Structure 1
């Protein structure tokens, strides 16, 4: 099983900095409160200096969404959506310790972070342009088919686990109470992304190790080394 981006996507977005992390043996009871609080303080500090739309990390994703033909304020990348909600409500709902941790880290770094249940993925994931026959399941259980050309996270059975690149994950592979193994993906396009994404992965690796005492494997991807095998 592996995670990768298509060569076409690397060609269109050579500035992409992407990293992936796998953790095996997690349980719902991991304690992440201290880490989440630390990340929330960092997010608050960033929002005190600028609304989320003014952050360079978010601006880079807005430009990418425009290049993909999407309205940036209609379809927001995951980190922008989280920061926007956090700015308005001063808190995020608690869902699962792993999701809570990744959401908080995403806000602190202003970088989209996706977390998938590996047991719900068939053969691996590739970030690529949709053919148009992929199956995407919403959190409410509705089935959609991404349009041809849309950037999706697709497995080998043609199931889309995220739509519009970093905009909307599927409910099908969302982390739940019985999840044991997770794949975490962080992607950024801003000028310092090549340094920021490894810092994010390192921070998450430490937090996961502290909360669950499980082995963590991480890697950075590139156009010349596009696949992370796990």
Structure 2
């Protein structure tokens, strides 16, 4: 069975006391119900239209504060959940990308929580949330062409043994570990701060697991609460 055990650097915990996440590991099966993603997205749009939970604004504000603590400017580079919600509120919808990506984006906007999805087959070692020293390699796209850059020293990043996989905590994922519906080994991380009730974090994870199970009957899925 696929085993993924992400770790959290104690220095990150000092930046955001009470940070916790749910790790979801998936040994994928063939996708037979791709429409699950569209239905999840429609539910999420209705939640956004009627107003997210009474704690969601505080949760996004807490993420902005956490970003400022390591030198990021949340107005320019917000957490992934806030970025998605801004696009929905501006454009009315998100572009259709891929059943898997659309599903976890739907969970993100419904619950106002950053959700990352990664192709774990591309990982070298285990994922860890840490503070960059500025020498890590991060592969991205610039002007439609592959490019490499490095995070800023002191920046919170997700990384593996090869380099950074996500910059500014959950702002931008790298190309190397990008997830799509063809991946055989999938890893998701749902990241929350104390302003989001633990019950809501668990509900978001449960909805993701339920959607993946319906989309890919036969997939083997495990979850784990990750705390500093």
Distance 1:191 1:125 in 2: 25
Write the distance in 2 (CA, Å) between the matches of 1:15 and 1:177. 33
Scaled by the length of structure 2, what TM-score is found?
Answer: 0.89
Instruction: Specify the SS of the correspondent of 1:149.
Output: coil
- Asked if the contact 2:26–2:186 (Cα under 8 Å) also holds between the matched residues in 1, the reply is yes
Identify unmatched segments of 5+ residues in structure 2: none
1:175 aligns with 2:183: no
Take 1:40 and 1:105, find their aligned partners in 2: how far apart are those partners?
10
Give the TM-score normalised by the residue count of structure 1: 0.88
- CA displacement, residues 153-185 of structure 1 (integer Å, 9 cap, x when unaligned): 11012x111000011111221113531211000
Residues 26 and 181 in structure 1, CA contact (< 8 A), matched pair in contact too: no
Q: 1:162 — aligned with what? A: 166
Give the whole-Å Cα distance in 1 for the aligned partners of 2:204 and 2:72: 27
Segment drifting more, 132-141 vs 103-112: 132-141
Mapped to 2, the partners of 1:37 and 1:120 lie a distance apart of: 31
Aligned equivalents of 2:156, 2:175: Cα separation in 1 = 17
Alpha-carbon distance between aligned partners in 2 of 1:70 and 1:193, rounded to the nearest angstrom: 25
Give the match for residue 73 of structure 1.
75
How far the C-alpha of 1:98 sits from its partner, in A, is 0.6
Q: Unmatched 5+ residue regions in structure 1?
A: 224-230
Q: CA RMSD in A?
A: 1.9
2:23 corresponds to: 20
- Per the alignment, in what secondary structure is the counterpart of residue 124 of structure 1? coil
Distance 1:116 1:184 in 2: 6
Deviates more, 1:64-73 or 1:107-116: 64-73
Task: Give the Cα–Cα distance (whole angstroms) in 2 for the partners of residues 177 and 217 of structure 1.
Answer: 18
Q: Distance in 2 between matches of 1:210 and 1:180?
A: 16
Contact kept? 1:125, 1:154, Cα under 8 Å:
yes
The 1-side partners of 2:208 and 2:223 are apart by 10
Q: Tell me the equivalent position of 1:209.
A: 213
